[in-house]
Amino acid sequence: MEWGRQLYKEKLGGLPGFKVYKSVANFILIKYPIEIKDKLMEALKVQDYKIKFMSDKGLESCLRITLGRKEQTQTVVDTILQVLRFEI
């Protein structure tokens, strides 16, 4: 799981509009640019990953990702980066 936490932090943590929150649980919370929410939801749905897009007040631009196997984590990161590339 630590590998996954580090991957999210390294690949997404420094990008504009993103923040990867510290976690010791089996999931990670990531803030993302709200403008890409619909495209991000669709892209992750196509990949068949169940990722929770938060709706609580103050967390509307965050998603909660359960840490999984390396290949799953890499696919989620790649999908997020791909959506972001099309938005720039």
How do residues 30-43 score in pLDDT, each as one tens digit?
Answer: 999 999 999 999 99
Average the pLDDT over 23-50 and give the result. Answer: 91
Answer whether residue 88 shows pLDDT above 60.
no
**pLDDT (0 to 100) of residue 49:** 77
**Torsion from C-alpha of 69, 37, 41, 27, nearest 10 degrees:** 30
Provide the pLDDT for residue 46. 82
CB atoms within 10 A of CB 35: 11
Kindly tell me if the per-residue pLDDT of 17 is higher than 80.
yes
- Of the pLDDT bands very low, low, confident and very high (cuts 50, 70, 90), residue 56 is very high
Indicate if the pLDDT at residue 86 is higher than 70.
yes
Residue 18 pLDDT exceeds 70? yes
d(CA 19, CA 11): 11
